[in-house]
Structure 1
Amino acid sequence: MSEPTSGKKGAADPLPAAPRSRRAALLAWAGAAVAPFGARPALGQGTTAAPWPSQPVRYINPYPAGGPTDTLSRLWCARMSALTGQQFVVDNRSGSAGNVGATVIARAAPDGYTIGLGGIATHAIAPTLYAALPFDPAKDFTFLSGLWRLPNLLVINNDLPARSVPELIALLRANPGRYSYGSAGSGTTIHLSGELFKKLAGVDVIHVPYRGTAPAMVDLIAGRIHMIFDNIPTALAQAREGKVRPLAVTTAQRSPVVPDIPTMAEFLPGYEMTSWTCVCGPAGLPAPVVARISALARQALESEDLRRAFAGHGATAWWTSPEDIAAHRAAEQERLAPLIRAIGARVD
């Protein structure tokens, strides 16, 4: 999925300060965050008597308010509210690169009234990136539907003498270790996009991690770094203003938002790095609830108004069956694990 873009240098995740393990700290924070969301009866005492939803639904967004994931989540929740007549309330539970919010979802009651945002960061990258997690992505969630796919966009400093990916590769090969790329931090899709590029292109480029892509973009425009594989909403806005030069998107197919920009795979076969998201709930959701949420999610994601709204933010609406999104998550974890291990991106 897409990474937070906060540029507040030195800002810390809101985790308990007591000296304890990462896993214990996350569990404590998530446990405190799972507050009752209105009184609701236990399963078997009324929650499944009426078609889901018969009351407001809490949607956990594991990232801060105001970013791309928040905007896109609210668009989907608004559409779901219109379809069901029940309010879908976005609850931002950020911290530890999305792991705090994911833990809240995993620990919720399995009744369908707490669901939330999953995706590549928490459910495919985190299992390899983190030495210990307070949840098991394969066992602690019920996957309900794909939600959106969002490419990263390779943009370079305007002064760089390259106007295409082949020209950039030639420049980098002729100057090993001279150029650098920024990222939103170790293990993000922005970082992995750069490392996959280095691997497939056979180039030596220095990785400069930032605390969010906002300060990285400032340095790119100023020429202090030379390129970045940024989330398309931010990168495209800067490119359209002429502040940076766009070269390629990281998805396997061209983005319908910018169909004139080529893919990395057109020059480096096998290249793909897509920020994908999904709707998930805790493990053990009843089959009728899963089927109902999946059907409504499909209706929402296939509506023309939501597709247009997503496209306006660089995203492509993406419905899948619950079975397909669970299989996709597992395949993505397996695909990315060797790359994460190879670059030594490990958080203890």
Structure 2
Amino acid sequence: MQRRHFLAAASASGWALAGRALAAGEPGSRILVGATPGGGTDLVARSLAAELGPRLQRQFIVENRPGAAGNIAAGAVAKAEPDLSSLLVCYTSHAINASLFPKLPFDPLKDFTALSLVARSPLLLVTRPDFPAASLRELLASAKSRQGQLSIGVAGVGSANHLAGEMLKTQAGIAAVSVPYKGAGPALTDAMSGQVDLVFSNVASAQELIKGGKLKVLAVSTAQRVAAYPNAAPVAELFAGFDYGSWYGLLGPAGIKPADAQRVAAAARAAVSGEAMRKHLTTEGLEPVGSTSAEFASFLQDEVERWRKVVQLTGTKVE
């Protein structure tokens, strides 16, 4: 199923479920998304909402509140009542923002209840087909002889995509110009036309362009190779410890009753392991996870610390 058809179907089924639930007087929840409709975070939220509704006998409606790298949506959930009425599908930036923004109006750990890590995704280092390098090793050799001449398109300042590029520059000892864009689409468009040389992109945004021969893959950002791109070596094969993918998780406000949190977490795990949602996620290049609440809480704490070190090392700042 193509993404636009799935999103339309998920939205329609969600509203249909909401209508039935309201008519029956059942409680409802909104799932906030700090990104625009149609992207990876939105897709995860809508597929999760469609699965959680029947499992929990509760309406789940997705509400997009983009802006400030996800902080607007996160702030709303942090201030919400400590129940299941407002949940958040967050992404990697939730952990990054803890050190990127000096004065967040919420604590990304203490003000939330971790429910489940839903999915992960590698990043692909892509370029135009006629770019004069067929691998990361060739790219770096060229970059060192052309210091400051290469450019990297940045799909969101402070995003995992951005910081992966900054870490590559730092660890490889190369100078390249980072060019900010408002989203992956414009960055990839300019990569195809040669306006920028490189982009670290999530799989969902780039895979159709790669299949169509409009982009080629030079490397992957995770420590393991990606089955769909077996010839693209991990950056970690040249720089040990390089592992900067993206992820999506489900949070609620702090103070949710433990029994309610465990119930939602169990439903999320069951949804992610179900055939329908696994198919939706893998089609978009995402790796289904479905963790426990405790596992996600531990993961999130580790991520906040890991990205803090990256932000400090690269000197990344938001204007």
Q: TM-score range by the shorter chain?
A: 0.7 to 0.9
Report how far residue 57 of structure 1 moved: 1.8
Calculate the TM-score normalised by the size of structure 2: 0.88
Q: Which residue of 1 aligns with 2:138?
A: 167
CA distance in 2, matches of 1:338, 1:292: 34
Asked if 1:75 corresponds to 2:47, the answer is yes
CA contact (8 A) 1:128 1:346 kept: no
Report how far residue 223 of structure 1 moved: 1.0
Read off the aligned partner of 1:119 and give its amino acid letter. Answer: Y
Asked if 1:301 corresponds to 2:266, the answer is no
SS in 2 for 1:90: strand
CA contact (8 A) 1:61 1:92 kept: yes
**Residue of 18, 21, 30 corresponding to 1:58:** 30
CA contact (8 A) 1:153 1:236 kept: no
Per-residue Cα deviation, 1:207-244 (whole angstroms, up to 9, x for no partner) = 11122222221211111211110121112221111111
Calculate the TM-score normalised by the size of structure 1: 0.81
CA distance in 2, matches of 1:177, 1:261: 25
In structure 2, runs of 5+ residues without a counterpart are: 1-17, 20-24
Report how far residue 316 of structure 1 moved: 1.0
CA contact (8 A) 1:118 1:279 kept: yes
CA contact (8 A) 1:151 1:249 kept: yes
Once the two structures are overlaid, the 10-residue window that deviates more, 317-326 or 257-266, is: 257-266
Aligned residues: percent identity? Answer: 35
CA contact (8 A) 1:131 1:346 kept: no
**Residue of 98, 103, 107 corresponding to 2:79:** 107
Per-residue Cα deviation, 1:66-98 (whole angstroms, up to 9, x for no partner) = 222112211111111232333211111122111
SS in 2 for 1:346: coil
SS in 2 for 1:88: strand
SS in 2 for 1:254: coil
Asked if 1:188 corresponds to 2:184, the answer is no
Report how far residue 169 of structure 1 moved: 1.3
Report how far residue 257 of structure 1 moved: 4.6
Once the two structures are overlaid, the 10-residue window that deviates more, 279-288 or 112-121, is: 112-121
CA contact (8 A) 1:257 1:311 kept: no
CA distance in 1, matches of 2:251, 2:309: 26
**Residue of 189, 203, 210 corresponding to 2:181:** 210
Q: Which residue of 1 aligns with 2:96?
A: 125
Q: Which residue of 2 aligns with 1:49?
A: none
CA distance in 2, matches of 1:301, 1:269: 31
Report how far residue 99 of structure 1 moved: 0.4
Q: What is the RMSD computed on CA atoms of the aligned residues?
A: 2.0
Report how far residue 109 of structure 1 moved: 0.8
Read off the aligned partner of 2:199 and give its amino acid letter. Answer: I
Per-residue Cα deviation, 1:248-274 (whole angstroms, up to 9, x for no partner) = 221222334545543222332211111
**Residue of 217, 225, 229 corresponding to 2:200:** 229
Q: Which residue of 1 aligns with 2:108?
A: 137
Per-residue Cα deviation, 1:294-329 (whole angstroms, up to 9, x for no partner) = 111111111122111100111111112212211111
Asked if 1:244 corresponds to 2:215, the answer is yes
Q: Which residue of 2 aligns with 1:89?
A: 61
CA contact (8 A) 1:94 1:101 kept: yes
Asked if 1:199 corresponds to 2:142, the answer is no
SS in 2 for 1:59: strand
CA distance in 2, matches of 1:171, 1:259: 23
Q: Which residue of 2 aligns with 1:311?
A: 282
Read off the aligned partner of 1:127 and give its amino acid letter. Answer: A
The structure with the largest helix share of the pair is 2
Identify if the C-alpha distance between structure 1 residues 254 and 79 changes in structure 2 by more than 3 Å, giving closer, same or farther.
farther
Once the two structures are overlaid, the 10-residue window that deviates more, 256-265 or 299-308, is: 256-265
Read off the aligned partner of 1:306 and give its amino acid letter. Answer: M
Q: Which residue of 1 aligns with 2:225?
A: 254
Count of paired positions: 297
CA contact (8 A) 2:135 2:232 kept: no
Read off the aligned partner of 2:236 and give its amino acid letter. Answer: A
Report how far residue 247 of structure 1 moved: 1.7
Read off the aligned partner of 2:266 and give its amino acid letter. Answer: A
Q: Which residue of 1 aligns with 2:296?
A: 325
CA contact (8 A) 2:41 2:248 kept: no
SS in 2 for 1:336: helix
Q: Which residue of 2 aligns with 1:3?
A: none
Read off the aligned partner of 1:110 and give its amino acid letter. Answer: P
CA distance in 1, matches of 2:247, 2:78: 19
CA contact (8 A) 2:52 2:271 kept: yes
Q: Which residue of 2 aligns with 1:45?
A: none
CA distance in 2, matches of 1:260, 1:159: 17
Read off the aligned partner of 1:73 and give its amino acid letter. Answer: A
CA contact (8 A) 1:144 1:280 kept: yes
